[in-house]
């Protein structure tokens, strides 16, 4: 049984990293924090791991020991990735240059400052050399991404034409990528690489902090998608919509004028008022499922953006509340294309972005005192996975009872979540290309409920394998863990204690979380 007492009781050079590990005097918490602060600055994976292993955790407090064990787990996986697969940007991406990474993205800024120009040229040429080295191992950017990066490099070179050395380095990188395009093939996943499935399995492990085979992930995600699709089909038929894929019917429903807001100030104010009404109900339900509730989780609201942000077409964003509520939490909704936000899609946004999603999890993470390195590496998919789990929790609590359209909105969001997981697995495990992935997502979910096109999501999956999968798996694994805890003999399962076990210590690798919740019964 999970009890409250169990929960609550419970770029640096290699030489510098090793020296930091040996600087421990008594093994106390302050010494560990100093070491983790240094390790957070970067460095070779093997040397970061060695530095941490050189630190004795014997005298640490229970909370600091969580930091140590969680970061050690993450570093061990990272070291295995870069040791077995020495290409790309370490454990974050198999590609050193993409549309979202590389020195080229800061070239204009470097040209303006002048001081950074020489260093940027060196970085560009070093990356160009690494592109060639990786290509010799069969690691080449997908062709459609090469086209985007090459276009960006050309545009950037033109912008810095007054700095010839920088423009020339950008040109060399562009030429190197274009020369590789014919060798990229039609595939976009890491299955093209030697031992690609083993590489992808390690990336999944890094994303959730536990062993899982890509095949297991596929089976679990497929089962979830099947159940969600069946429920959506039932509700759509009850609305008189029985023809076409679930995605096509959701697309038609999203265009129904009855559920759309007017594209003016009055429409935007009404939308925000509707979201705050859902939020008030979500806050009132907190004691049903949570024992430890941050005061800040009650001091939350949904809001319009400032006129300047709206004019700049800024995407939706949140300001997390502090634990004590002295800093309130606010989610600023993106209402630029308000006519694509039917009212029935909003409740799930509230549950994900505020309560019981991010604005319940983040204040408790703050209070846990978890070191930022643990928070970042232990279970990268955890925060987003918790927020997806919170959407499901709202449905289980009866948030959508008697409101089939709101439930359909929830189902569309969940199909979007599981769709990204399946698309990630499909691209990297099953060899899906852009066209197949696009068709799959459109048929499954209809128009994406987020304000980014399907093509952008596919690009992110291609250049950041396992990142989207990690978020979806985090949700599914939290549900599996809960159900396993519920079945423990004589557990007297209490969902409020379970949520404490998951949230109060701060993010932990899934393997550690399983052990804390299930004890000797923990298994994959």
Whether 107 shows a pLDDT value over 70: the answer reads: yes
> Is 373 in contact with 69 (CB distance < 8 Å)?
no
- State the DSSP string of 289-331: H-SS--GGGTSEEEEPPPHHHHHTTPPPEEEPPPTTSSS-EEE
Strand-strand pairing, 329-332 and 317-319:
antiparallel
> Are residues 372 and 237 located together in one domain of the fold?
yes
Per-residue pLDDT, 524: 55
Per-residue confidence at 522, pLDDT binned at 50, 70, 90? low
Whether 20 shows a pLDDT value over 80: the answer reads: no
List residues bridging with 301 in a β-sheet: 330
Tokens describing residue 398: 């009866």
* pLDDT tens readout for residues 406-442: 999 999 999 999 999 999 999 999 999 999 999 999 9
- Domain-located, residue 210: yes
> Is 524 in contact with 212 (CB distance < 8 Å)?
yes
* pLDDT tens readout for residues 465-514: 999 999 999 999 999 999 999 999 987 999 999 999 999 999 999 999 99
- Domain-located, residue 479: no
Per-residue pLDDT, 455: 94
Calpha distance 144→480 (Å, rounded): 37
Query: C-alpha dihedral over 71, 76, 78, 80, to 10 degrees?
Result: 180
Give pTM, 2 decimals. 0.93
> Are residues 130 and 70 located together in one domain of the fold?
no
Instruction: Give the total number of structural domains in the chain.
Output: 3
The 8-class DSSP code of residue 261 comes to P
> Are residues 254 and 397 located together in one domain of the fold?
yes
Calpha distance 345→243 (Å, rounded): 21
> Are residues 308 and 433 located together in one domain of the fold?
yes
> Are residues 125 and 71 located together in one domain of the fold?
no
Per-residue confidence at 133, pLDDT binned at 50, 70, 90? very high
- Domain-located, residue 2: no
- Domain-located, residue 500: no
- Domain-located, residue 171: yes
* pLDDT tens readout for residues 278-330: 999 999 999 999 999 999 999 999 999 998 998 888 989 999 999 999 999 99
Q: Indicate the residue among 436, 454, 474 that finishes a domain.
A: 474
- Domain-located, residue 109: yes
Range of the domain at 146: 103-188
Q: Which of 166, 159, 66, 74 is nearest to 115 (CA)?
A: 166
Contact partners, residue 98, CB within 8 Å, separation at least 6: 141, 145, 149, 463
Per-residue pLDDT, 16: 42
Nearest 5 degrees, angle CA 64-CA 65-CA 69? 125
Q: Indicate the residue among 57, 84, 111 that finishes a domain.
A: 84
Tokens describing residue 491: 């557990």
Task: Report the b/e string of 283-319 with b at 16+ CB within 10 A.
Answer: bebbeebbbbbbebbbbbbbeebeeebeeeeeebebe
> Are residues 293 and 233 located together in one domain of the fold?
yes
- Domain-located, residue 64: yes
* pLDDT tens readout for residues 340-362: 999 999 999 999 999 999 999 99
- Domain-located, residue 91: no
Q: Indicate the residue among 154, 188, 222 that finishes a domain.
A: 188
Tell me phi and psi for residue 444, to 5 degrees.
-75, -45
> Are residues 121 and 173 located together in one domain of the fold?
yes
> Are residues 241 and 159 located together in one domain of the fold?
no
> Are residues 295 and 168 located together in one domain of the fold?
no
> Are residues 152 and 280 located together in one domain of the fold?
no
Taking the CA atoms of the chain, what radius of gyration do you get in angstroms?
24
> For tokens 């300047």, what's the residue?
308
Helix axes 14-21, 45-53, angle to 10 degrees: 10
Max CA distance (Å), the chain: 74
> Are residues 50 and 167 located together in one domain of the fold?
no
> Are residues 386 and 360 located together in one domain of the fold?
yes
Calpha distance 305→307 (Å, rounded): 6
């Amino acid at each position: 049984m999970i009890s409250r007492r169990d929960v609550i009781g419970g770029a640096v050079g290699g030489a510098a990293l090793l020296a930091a590990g040996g600087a421990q005097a008594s093994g106390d918490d302050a010494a560990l924090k100093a070491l983790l602060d240094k390790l957070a600055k970067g460095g070779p994976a093997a040397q970061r791991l060695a530095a941490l292993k050189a630190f004795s955790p014997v005298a640490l407090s229970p909370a600091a020991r969580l930091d140590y064990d969680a970061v050690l787990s993450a570093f061990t996986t990272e070291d295995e990735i870069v040791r077995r697969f020495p290409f790309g940007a370490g454990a974050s991406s198999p590609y050193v240059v993409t549309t979202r990474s590389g020195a080229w993205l800061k070239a204009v800024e470097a040209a303006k400052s002048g001081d950074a120009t020489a260093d940027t040229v060196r970085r560009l040429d070093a990356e160009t050399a690494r592109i060639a080295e990786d290509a010799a191992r069969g690691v080449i950017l997908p062709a459609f991404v090469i086209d985007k990066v090459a276009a960006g490099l050309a545009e950037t070179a033109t912008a810095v034409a007054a700095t010839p050395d920088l423009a020339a380095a950008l040109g060399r990188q562009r030429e190197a990528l274009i020369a590789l395009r014919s060798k990229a093939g039609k595939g976009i996943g890491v299955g093209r690489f030697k031992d690609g499935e083993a590489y992808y399995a390690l990336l999944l492990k890094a994303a959730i902090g536990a062993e899982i085979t890509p095949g297991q992930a596929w089976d679990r995600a497929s089962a979830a998608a099947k159940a969600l699709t069946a429920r959506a089909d039932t509700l759509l038929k009850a609305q008189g919509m029985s023809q076409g894929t679930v995605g096509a019917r959701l697309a038609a429903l999203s265009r129904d004028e009855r559920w759309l807001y007017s594209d003016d100030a009055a429409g935007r104010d009404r939308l925000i008022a509707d979201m705050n009404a859902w939020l008030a109900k979500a806050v009132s339900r907190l004691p049903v499922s949570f024992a430890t509730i941050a005061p800040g989780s009650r001091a939350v609201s949904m809001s319009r953006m400032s006129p300047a942000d709206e004019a700049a077409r800024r995407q939706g964003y949140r300001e997390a509340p502090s634990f004590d509520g002295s800093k309130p939490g606010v989610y600023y909704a993106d209402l630029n294309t308000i006519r694509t936000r039917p009212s029935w899609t909003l409740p799930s946004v509230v549950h994900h972005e505020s309560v019981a999603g991010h604005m319940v999890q983040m204040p408790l993470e703050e209070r846990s005192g978890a070191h930022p390195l643990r928070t970042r590496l232990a279970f990268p998919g955890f925060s987003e996975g918790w927020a997806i789990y919170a959407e499901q929790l709202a449905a289980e609590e009866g948030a959508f009872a008697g409101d089939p359209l709101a439930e359909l909105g929830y189902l569309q969001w969940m199909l979007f979540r599981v769709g990204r997981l399946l698309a990630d697995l499909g691209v990297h495990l099953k060899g899906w290309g852009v066209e197949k992935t696009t068709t799959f997502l459109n048929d499954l979910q209809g128009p994406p409920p987020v304000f980014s096109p399907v093509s952008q999501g596919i690009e992110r999956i291609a250049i950041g394998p396992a990142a989207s999968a990690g978020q979806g798996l985090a949700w599914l694994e939290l549900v599996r863990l809960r159900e396993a805890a519920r079945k423990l003999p004589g557990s007297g399962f209490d969902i409020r204690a379970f949520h404490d076990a998951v949230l109060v210590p701060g993010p932990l690798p899934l393997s550690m979380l399983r052990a804390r919740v299930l004890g000797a019964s923990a298994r994959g």
